[in-house]
Structure 1
Amino acid sequence: MSDAPLRLVIFDVDGTLVDSQADIIGAMTLAFAAEDLAMPDRATVLAQVGLSLHVMMPRLVPQADAATHGRLVEGYKAAYMQLRATRGAAESSPMYPGALQTLQRLHAQPEVLLGVATGKSRRGLDKLIEGHALEGLFVTQQVADTHPSKPHPAMLEAALSETGVEAVHAVMVGDTSYDMEMAASAGITGIAVSWGYHDRTQLGAATHLIEDFAALPPLLEDIWKE
């Protein structure tokens, strides 16, 4: 029996495990149209992905009042679920190359636990897990419904608490500056991915940067040897 300590690999979702930008932009377009507001450009919207919606909307339309921000949040949620129901999660938010294989490889290691820390709602995460048949992979799932928005470290602190894993034995894998700043605040090693919604120039808080999922398992081995 291995005497290795438990390890925890926490993943962001949008822009890290799945490419959901088509649905994000589509839902945002519908939400803004319902309020007769000009839609921010694609790059501006994607730059905010990872934040909770109640934080994102005031950033996208700072001139609007709180009531409008609230309606945009609810309109976005409804439109997103509608788009996902039409196409299905597997098609509307496809997994990045190598993501599933890497999750399965890590899950097969008895001392490695997997988790999620996402700006998605519980409902949105549940639909995604169901759509990609990921049930049973993530022992801890932290969502926007119950935590302050990233980069506040609450999601990661809860994941550590739920699993009993020490911060030194955990990593956070994500694509945005919010993920990496959250990891740094929680005392967790941040591993940034190059294929997501933030440019690598924004990922300065990361400890490591990987170019594809195949690089993750050997990197983890190197980190855990230290």
Structure 2
Amino acid sequence: MTGSAMDCRLIVFDVDGTLVDSQHLILASMQAAFDFLGEPLPPRETALSVVGLSLPEAMGTLLPHLPPEDALRAADSYRQHFLARRLENAAESVPPLYPGALDALERLNATPETLLGVATGKARRGLDHLLDAYDLRQLFVTLQTADGHPSKPHPSMLLSALAESGATPGCAAMVGDTEYDIAMGRAAGMRTVGVAWGYHPRDRLAAAGADVVIDGFAELDAALASLGLVPA
């Protein structure tokens, strides 16, 4: 434990669509999975709308007309393609950080008593690859992935993050780009910040109950300050 419920604030970030723009690799891997099943890939907006869910749930959402075992086969094909792309060209498989993401993380990390975490639908192997590529690991005190938790919006990842960091829900926020992130944060009793540059539009984030929605990382500090989570 790195803090106590009395002296720390926890800001938890989603990854895909929030910290990194991974849409091209995601869509290429989805195309491979749908080709494997002989199914047409849905339009881009529909395909990206499930980002944030664990892979089986995402594929099941996109393929509701097929048996559950086919969704599992599609998820496995996606994983294989994703990993193959990484092995073929490690540099190309690292999605770019969104503008201002690194500065925002470093700024928050330098704020006394503010702790950072991750809650992502990615597998731990994929998260480790990303953190090592950008040398981000030292910024986070808790890393929660799909490997050991139910899919978002179940609050399991955030409850574990709170327990590991020593923060309380009232002193914590979830930052993410999808309604699944917002619903997960609310279910854990945390404040929620939606980011409008990801895979769900602003109105969908607001409808999910986001406390605030921002249009760029330059707005994050003020948003968190308005929620009483960092100094104004």
Aligned match of 1:27: 29
Moved more, 216-225 or 157-166: 216-225
Aligned length: 223
Pairs within 5 Å for 1:1-226: 5-88=7-90, 92-203=94-205, 204=207, 205-224=209-228
Moved more, 78-87 or 152-161: 78-87
Counterpart AA for 2:61? R
**Identical positions, percent:** 47
**SS of aligned partner of 1:173:** strand
Counterpart AA for 1:47? S
Distance in 1 (alpha carbons) for counterparts of 2:215 and 2:92:
23
Deviation at 1:164, TM superposition (A): 0.9
Identify if the C-alpha distance between structure 1 residues 90 and 183 changes in structure 2 by more than 3 Å, giving closer, same or farther. farther
Map Cα deviations across residues 85-110 of structure 1 (whole Å, 9 max, x no partner).
33435764100000001101111123
Deviation at 1:219, TM superposition (A): 2.4
Counterpart AA for 2:199? Y
Distance in 2 (alpha carbons) for counterparts of 1:131 and 1:90:
11
> What residue ranges of structure 2 are gaps of 5+ in the alignment?
1-5
RMSD: 1.6
> What residue ranges of structure 1 are gaps of 5+ in the alignment?
none
Distance in 1 (alpha carbons) for counterparts of 2:108 and 2:164:
19
* Contact 1:51-1:150 at 8 Å conserved across structures: yes
TM-score (norm 1): 0.93
Identify if the C-alpha distance between structure 1 residues 214 and 90 changes in structure 2 by more than 3 Å, giving closer, same or farther. farther
* Contact 2:193-2:223 at 8 Å conserved across structures: no
Map Cα deviations across residues 48-96 of structure 1 (whole Å, 9 max, x no partner).
1101111111111112222221111111011112223334357641000
Distance in 2 (alpha carbons) for counterparts of 1:211 and 1:31:
32
**SS of aligned partner of 1:150:** coil
Distance in 1 (alpha carbons) for counterparts of 2:220 and 2:170:
17
TM-score (norm 2): 0.91
Counterpart AA for 2:165? T
Map Cα deviations across residues 200-219 of structure 1 (whole Å, 9 max, x no partner).
11112100111110111232
